[in-house]
Amino acid sequence: MILVTSAGGKTGRAMIAAFAAAGEPVRAMMRHSEKDEELIALGAAEVFHGDLANTGDVTAATEGCRAIYYICPNMIENEMDIGGNVIDAAKAAQVDRLIFHSVLHTQVQALQHHWNRLFVEEAIVESGVPFSILQVGSYYQNMLPGWAKMLDTGVHAMAYEVEAPMSLVDLDDVSEAATRVLNDAECVNGIFEICGPVITLTEKAEILCRVLGQRIEARKLPADQVVEHAAHMGVAEYGQDCMRRMFAHYDVHGLVGSSRVLEWTLGRPPTNFEAFVKRIAATA
């Protein structure tokens, strides 16, 4: 049995589907029950309701599991405490593997939510638990909630400079890589950058134009506008501050890793943005 935490989000759902397709029984952990049927339909054998901030809940969720795929909610202030709970539960259950779904460049202090994960990574490395750490780039799929609006307006917009280089990645590639890492003993105690080839908003817009057959313009959204929307959606002040720092950092540096590790892990080149757009356009 594999425990997948934060199972109701897009990452958790992708991992459940991938692990289940590979024949791995999955226990999905989430706080509430509104997505139980969806998670079962994706392949989860069990759904456990609990809070990652509650030590007892995490310990109970992990009981009987051979592995944990640990996804932490994004941009939360108590990330290090939650990481400690998961590590303690992994020790108690004597799991064969703790896979931490981390982020690119955890050593960058300007990205507070990345920086926090550096200390979780450190704690995992020092825990004595067999581990693998996936340092994952932002997803192509993050644009999908705005897909229909993009088609209507002819604008593909993000809250950073249109020429900022970004190592985006297909979430389907991430879940495939996670399955391979889980089942490869040589990946124990390894840290892996999981990201695709570098691309800018301008380059994305050019590909969108070509594939979709309509004009799509790259545009930078005001960061304050995006943060304000996040606040209306319930993102806490800490998360809002993380977003402001993140967009300011992206404006100057982007977020760039190497796609070679993902290529080695998959045994093929990572899905590029053009292939992703063609796939989405064919199913939209």
Backbone dihedral region for residue 71 (phi beyond 0: left; psi -120 to 50: alpha; all else: beta): beta
What are the residue ranges spanned by the domains of the chain? 2-137+171-194+258-270
Amino acid identity, position 193: E
pLDDT class of 284 with cuts at 50, 70, 90: confident
End-to-end CA distance of the chain: 34
pLDDT class of 33 with cuts at 50, 70, 90: confident
Phi and psi at residue 128, in whole multiples of 5°? Answer: 85, -5
What is the pLDDT of the chain when averaged over all its residues? Answer: 97
| Residue 267: pLDDT over 90 | yes
pTM of the complete model? 0.96
Mean local confidence (pLDDT), 92-116: 97
CATH of 2-137+171-194+258-270, one of 1.10.287.130, 3.10.20.30, 3.40.50.720, 3.30.160.100: 3.40.50.720
